[in-house]
Amino acid sequence: MITERSKLSIVILLLLVTVAEQQAPKGKKRVVDPEAYLDACGITLLHGYACQEHSVLTKDGYILKMQRLSGKGRGRSEKAKIGQPVFLQHGLFRSSIDWLINRPDQSLAFLLADAGYDVWLGNVRGNTYSKQHVSLNPTMKRFWRFTFDQMAEYDLPAMVDYVLDFTNHSSLHYVGYSQGNLIGFACFSEAPDWAKDKIKSFHAFAPIAFLGNVKSAFASLRPFFWFLNWMLEQFGKEFLPKRKFVRWLGEKLCAGRAAFLCKNVLLLIGDYHPKSVNALLATRSMQKFDYGFEGNMKHYGQPEPPLYHPERNPVPTAMYCGSDDLMSDQLDVKRLSEQTRNLLGIYEYEGIHHLDFTWGLNVVSTVYAQFMQVLSAQCA
């Protein structure tokens, strides 16, 4: 049975397509960027870099994909000398490809590879590269029953341990963006001894742990999340899956003068908060997922979800913040920094938005340049 909300959602979707059609230039053939449908290794190889894809099995059965890349002329033979491993972890609804999306001289993964680092790109469960499980598949609801807690408890340790075993290094440098920081702080504070041994430095782009002062557009639009939830239901819980309809919709909505629709939607989606982040918004604390009284008693043995304690994170940590970041608010970052016992520094940049840290063209000479200096000092 089609509900009234489902009907309204379909109408909204059709209106968006209609607007896009009316705004599209008439008589002109749409030009699709050749990189649009390449995967992470495809883009890497296109630019002349070496790329490997690795599979990692978590303790609870998820199979995660990671990409490893090295600079031009490096990493093509076993004898090639490669520097210390640097692990990049993407943000919410994102994947490893975000670190490669711009030109090589503007994308952090390529810049690190050119500097001689051994670059590894992580992917958490459920994203486009990590949709396998030993006994489940994405059509099952059980496959999607996870939160940030499982990413911190299972995904991140599995990927880090794999990288260190594969490279014969004892530790690596961790770079997180947005959600990548949330699971980083959660993981390192829950397993401080493990983190102290295996994470040499932690670099937090758009650091997130507390969301008490978030000014995101979606924070005020939460009454309309039902539309996004409806869309997720239609696509089997997956956000923007690789299907023909989504490809067609993207080409319709993101072409010509209608491209503003995509740009503005991405700005909103960049700050979208699923249920597990809504808990952070409501409590102003960094806590595990709230299953309700009965669920909490079953999962945690207590009526309230346990808190994370970022002050237990032993890793030397640097934070990189944007003045116009509506998601990673400066007051929340200040609170987080005060609880970070081994703080390398807080670096603030004017005019930088949340999405700029991976997609922006204005961060190379500012954020990335500063980061490279801090990273180099930690490699000594």
pLDDT, residue 79, reads: 42
Mind listing the pLDDT tens digit for each residue in 234-258? 555 554 555 555 555 556 556 555 5
DSSP for 229-267?
HHHHHHTTT-SS-S-HHHHHHHHHHTSGGGHHHHHHHHH
Mind listing the pLDDT tens digit for each residue in 334-378? 889 999 999 999 999 999 988 899 989 889 999 999 999 999 999
Determine whether 29 is exposed, middle or buried from the number of CB atoms within 10 Å of its CB (0-12, 13-18, 19+).
exposed
pLDDT, residue 208, reads: 84
One domain for residues 65 and 15: no
One domain for residues 236 and 350: no
- From 118-132, 158-172, 267-281, the region with the lowest mean pLDDT: 267-281
One domain for residues 170 and 254: no
DSSP letter (8 states) at residue 100: G
DSSP for 13-25?
HHHHHHHHHHHSP
In terms of Cα–Cα distance, which of 272, 295, 233 is closest to 94? 272
Count structural domains, the chain.
2
Output helix, strand, coil percentages for the chain, rounded to the nearest 5. 45, 15, 40
One domain for residues 137 and 204: yes
pLDDT, residue 9, reads: 46
One domain for residues 54 and 115: yes
**What distance in Å separates the CA atoms of residue 21 and residue 40, rounded to the nearest whole number?**
30
| Position 66 confidence tier, pLDDT thresholds 50, 70, 90 | very high
User: Is residue 32 in a domain?
Assistant: no
One domain for residues 209 and 355: yes
Q: Which two tokens stand for residue 79?
A: 């004898």
Residue 15: domain span: 4-26+222-269
Catalytic residue annotation: 178, 325, 354
Global confidence as pTM = 0.81
One domain for residues 187 and 253: no
Q: To which H or E segment does residue 172 belong?
A: strand 172-177
Query: Average pLDDT of the chain?
Result: 81
Question: Is 70 exceeded by the pLDDT of residue 144?
Answer: yes
One domain for residues 177 and 256: no
**What distance in Å separates the CA atoms of residue 100 and residue 44, rounded to the nearest whole number?**
7
Residue of higher predicted confidence among 76 and 94: 94
Q: Which two tokens stand for residue 150?
A: 């499982």
One domain for residues 22 and 109: no
pLDDT, residue 149, reads: 95
pLDDT, residue 28, reads: 59
One domain for residues 176 and 192: yes
